[in-house]
Amino acid sequence: KNEVEQSPQNLTAQEGEFITINCSYSVGISALHWLQQHPGGGIVSLFMLSSGKKKHGRLIATINIQEKHSSLHITASHPRDSAVYICAVHNTDKLIFGTGTRLQVFP
């Protein structure tokens, strides 16, 4: 069983839709990261969370430590949001990655 599970694996949406990506984990963590990976392969950090909720523009990330669950929301989605979104948990001195959610937003 993977230590970090994401759902869904693939997601398609029409421009303007509200998107939710979920992440569950089974290990102890000091923080949870949401990352974005574009087709060229580069990885960009979106959020680092250890509790509560963070917002950056149209992106919102929440975490529930007791339930070992986090969500990434995208409001008013846009085709430029198309990418792979990865949940990664900070465990000791390393990140443990989920398999990613491939999001495609169509105009």
Q: Which residues bind other proteins (CB under 8 A)?
A: 30-31, 33, 35, 40-45, 48, 86, 88, 90, 92-100
Closest CA to 7 of 100, 76, 105: 100
Residue (20 or 99) nearer to other proteins, CB? 99
- Give the nearest distance from C-beta 104 to other proteins in angstroms: 17
Cα torsion 4, 24, 14, 12: sign: positive
- Give the nearest distance from C-beta 45 to other proteins in angstroms: 6
Residue (17 or 95) nearer to other proteins, CB? 95
Closest CA to 66 of 33, 24, 98, 95: 24
Residue (21 or 86) nearer to other proteins, CB? 86
- Give the nearest distance from C-beta 18 to other proteins in angstroms: 26
Separation between Cα atoms, residue 99 and residue 107, nearest integer Å = 26
Asked if residue 6 lies in contact with residue 21, where contact means CB atoms within 8 angstroms, the answer is yes
Which residue type does 8 have? P
- Give the nearest distance from C-beta 98 to other proteins in angstroms: 7
